[in-house]
Amino acid sequence: MTVGERITIRISEEQLRLVQDMIDSGRSESISDVIRAALEEYLSRFYSPENVRKLTVDLPKGSVMELESLIKDGDAVSIDDAIRDAVREYTRERTRMRLG
């Protein structure tokens, strides 16, 4: 990573606790890494290509496990890919039912 600008932010005690928990559990290496990843995700929502709209979807753990199984079996390359395929198929089917 190239050297960037240094900034200072204020976050709540709860946010800091959650970030520190991510570091303590090994899900991230530093506070800066967490903040950079969060900022990247946030900005990607607003600066995606014109033909793409990004959505955040909360799924039950069981559904996530099923998606991971599809990936393991080679039916999808990623969870995002599996969700895109499922939504595409669902909308096609609903459109066929509505028109037919």
Q: What's the pTM value of the predicted model, to 2 decimals?
A: 0.56
Domain coordinates in residue numbering, the chain: 7-54, 57-100
Dist CA 87 CA 84 (whole Å) = 5
32-36 LR contacts (CB < 8 Å, sep 24+): 35/9
Print the SS3 string covering 10-74.
CCCHHHHHHHHHHHHCCCCCCHHHHHHHHHHHHHHHHCCCCCCCCCCCCCCHHHHHHHHHHHHCC
Mean pLDDT of 31-55: 86
| 53: amino acid identity, one letter | R
For 63, the token pair is: 């559904």
User: Which tens digits make up the pLDDT trace of 71-93?
Assistant: 999 988 998 888 889 899 999 99
Residue 49 backbone zone (phi > 0: left; psi -120 to 50: alpha; other: beta): beta
For residue 46, what pLDDT is reported? 82
